[in-house]
């Protein structure tokens, strides 16, 4: 055994001594191993077989009703210096966190199998990829990690070559919400998660490694780990531009990643290629451009809201070989959630469906499926060097003020635009309408260190010789006075992406405003849409008074991060505020 593999074996031995499992299984990622796990979980009831005629290879998992989502208040970043974690994270001193977690892990795997999962985030031969090992007592986690990562023998061979990996220790414990913590130790490249079997808390390669730990790694190594989809837009000339886009939840991220062009665009030869739907790792290439990989190999998507109207590609993707979590079931044993045809007979908890108990499928119910099953999957998702990014898009759910699309003046302005992004809550979500929650770069729950340092890191990419992507902001959710959305959305969002590509290629002049460049008259192709000129004017309107108030609020938000916030970002906020004042005086 090589010394590098010995270090892994030593850690596994230490964990086994602490958790005391009945047996240890080293995962190889093979089909046979997966089938064995499935059969085992069918016997224990951890999985339920769905209709194999309509959904071959598909199974249902029901989690504990107290364990259905990420738990931000129990998620900690444990850095030596408290200030390094920042006000955007919950902090605990590393020594205290280790002691708390090790007390929970003590003997927790007695009578259980301990699974050792070597995995690679990103194409196995990519210099941008990073490896990890998750130790868990959950066969459900093993099955999901096989779909979501490059898991098994090839990853273990890479770990043996490199000798460096992220350590993740997980146990479902007793699934007691009072004994549930997710701890991140970025300086040690270590994750400890106890008491949850839910995706983001238990599949440690996902948010824990690929965002919280990776963002910290990226800062020290000169790259970016971001909560972004990656989509390729191919025009009728056969040229493909790749776009990375960050949105908070409920803003149509997966729908955009798997976008279907409008009929006229399809006839003209436009195509959409899905590289990733959730996480994007970017680094500068030799030519000064940013190149991106999707570190994941699968989708862990939200089921409700996925339908033939919103995302037929996603529905097609999950028709086979998929694990569904917390969805409802029909009389003929098909998975069901709100938005699908048919009628549920059993809800997500396995009870006879009764509307009085709430939705049939849990609002955060999920599907886990291989990315390769997506009809628009891009073979370039496996490119070792990644795909070149032409544009970065930020967006949020704002019923007013924010135009359909605008382009930042330059990289520094783009970082401010990303820092300021947010969404207004809906009554369905919180009971309080119109509360603006800022979620900078959609990374608020996921940046593994102080937001001020994070923005500084973003600014550092603006170097001589850099050919950085243009940065845009979109808002698909602007409403008219009648409360209806002004923009049709879904496939028609390609019209906005086309304008961005025209800007990247220098074909659209745009209309400069104090907040950035919006499309000039005639530049957005909307001739075949039932959209009158006045509606389009409203969608692209820049209200100076409203934006002056918005810039003041953005200034307050930046101040809330204290002395670590870069002066350059304060100065940029003041530049835009002054430009608004000047424009208001002129008008």
Annotated catalytic residues are 251
CA gap 473, 570 in Å, rounded: 19
CB atoms within 10 A of CB 459: 17
DSSP H or E run through 391: strand 387-395
DSSP structural state of residue 494: H
Token pair for residue 409?
Answer: 């003046």
Region of residue 490 (left: phi > 0; alpha: psi -120 to 50; beta: else): left
* Sequence ranges of the binding site: 70, 198-200, 207, 227, 249-255, 278, 364-366, 397, 490-493
Question: Nearest 5 degrees, angle CA 397-CA 403-CA 404?
Answer: 75
Percent helix, strand and coil across the chain, each to the nearest 5: 35, 25, 40
Show the DSSP H helices in 133-202 as ranges. 139-148, 153-162, 199-202
Q: Can you say which residues are annotated as belonging to the binding site for GTP?
A: 250-255, 366, 397, 490-493
**Which distant-in-sequence residues (6+ apart) come within 8 Å of 243 by Cβ?**
230, 231, 232, 233, 389, 390, 391, 392, 393, 497, 500
CA 73-77-83 angle, to 5 degrees, is 110
User: Of the candidates 300, 350, 289, 349, which has an alpha carbon nearest to the alpha carbon of residue 324?
Assistant: 300
- The owner of tokens 């280790």 is 98
| Nearest-angstrom CA–CA distance, 475 and 538 | 12
N-term to C-term CA, the chain? 75
How big is the CA angle at 363 (ends 58 and 273), to the nearest 5 degrees? Answer: 60
Specify the length of the chain in residues.
587
């Amino acid at each position: 055994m090589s010394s590098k593999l010995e270090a892994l074996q030593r850690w596994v031995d230490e964990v086994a001594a602490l958790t005391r499992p009945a047996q240890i299984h080293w995962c190889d990622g093979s089909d046979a191993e997966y089938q064995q796990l499935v059969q085992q979980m069918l016997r224990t009831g951890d999985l339920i077989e769905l209709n194999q005629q309509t959904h071959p290879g598909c199974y249902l998992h029901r989690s504990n009703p107290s364990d259905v989502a990420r738990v931000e208040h129990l998620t900690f970043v444990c850095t030596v210096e408290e200030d390094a974690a920042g006000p955007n994270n919950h902090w605990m001193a590393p020594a205290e966190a280790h002691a708390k977690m090790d007390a929970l892990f003590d003997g927790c795997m007695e009578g259980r199998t301990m699974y050792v999962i070597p995995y690679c985030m990103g194409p196995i031969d990519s210099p941008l990829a990073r490896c990890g090992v998750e130790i868990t007592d959950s066969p459900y986690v093993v099955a999901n990690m096989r779909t979501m990562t490059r898991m098994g023998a090839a990853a273990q061979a890479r770990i043996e070559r490199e000798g460096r990996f992220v350590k993740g220790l997980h146990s479902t414990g007793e699934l007691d919400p009072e004994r549930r913590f997710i701890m991140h130790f970025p300086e040690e490249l270590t994750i400890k998660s106890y008491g949850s079997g839910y995706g983001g808390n238990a599949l440690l390669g996902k948010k824990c490694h690929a965002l919280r730990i990776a963002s910290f790694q990226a800062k020290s190594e000169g790259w970016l780990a971001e909560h972004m989809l990656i989509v390729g837009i191919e025009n009728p000339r056969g040229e493909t531009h790749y776009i990375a886009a960050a949105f908070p939840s409920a803003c149509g991220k997966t729908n955009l990643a798997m976008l279907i062009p409008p009929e006229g665009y399809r006839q003209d030869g436009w195509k959409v290629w899905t590289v990733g739907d959730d996480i994007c790792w970017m680094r500068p290439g030799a030519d000064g451009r940013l190149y991106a990989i999707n570190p994941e190999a699968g989708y862990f998507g939200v089921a409700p809201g996925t339908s033939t109207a919103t995302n037929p590609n996603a529905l097609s993707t999950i028709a086979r070989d998929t694990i569904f979590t917390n969805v409802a079931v029909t009389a003929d044993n098909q998975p069901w959630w709100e938005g699908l045809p048919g009628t549920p007979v059993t809800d997500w908890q396995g009870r006879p469906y009764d509307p009085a108990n709430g939705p049939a499928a849990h609002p955060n119910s999920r599907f886990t499926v291989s990315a390769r099953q997506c009809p628009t999957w891009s073979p370039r998702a496996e490119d070792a060097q990644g795909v070149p990014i032409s544009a970065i898009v930020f967006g949020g759910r704002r019923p007013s003020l924010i135009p359909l699309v605008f382009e930042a003046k330059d990289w520094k302005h783009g970082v401010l635009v990303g820092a300021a992004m947010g969404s207004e809550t809906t009554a369905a979500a919180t009971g309080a309408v119109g509360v603006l929650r800022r979620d900078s770069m959609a990374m608020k729950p996921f940046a593994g260190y102080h937001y001020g340092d994070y923005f500084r890191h973003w600014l550092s990419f603006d170097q001589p010789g850099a050919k950085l992507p243009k940065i845009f902001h979109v808002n698909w959710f602007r409403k008219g006075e009648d409360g209806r959305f002004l923009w049709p959305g879904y496939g028609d969002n390609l019209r906005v992406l086309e304008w961005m590509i025209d800007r990247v290629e220098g074909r659209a002049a745009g209309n400069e405003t104090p907040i950035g460049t919006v499309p000039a008259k005639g530049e957005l192709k909307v001739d075949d849409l039932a959209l009158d000129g006045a509606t389009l004017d409203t969608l692209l309107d820049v209200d100076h008074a409203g934006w002056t108030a918005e810039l003041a609020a953005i200034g307050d938000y930046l101040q809330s991060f204290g002395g670590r916030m870069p002066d350059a970002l304060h100065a940029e906020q003041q530049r835009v505020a002054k430009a608004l004042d000047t424009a208001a005086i002129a008008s």
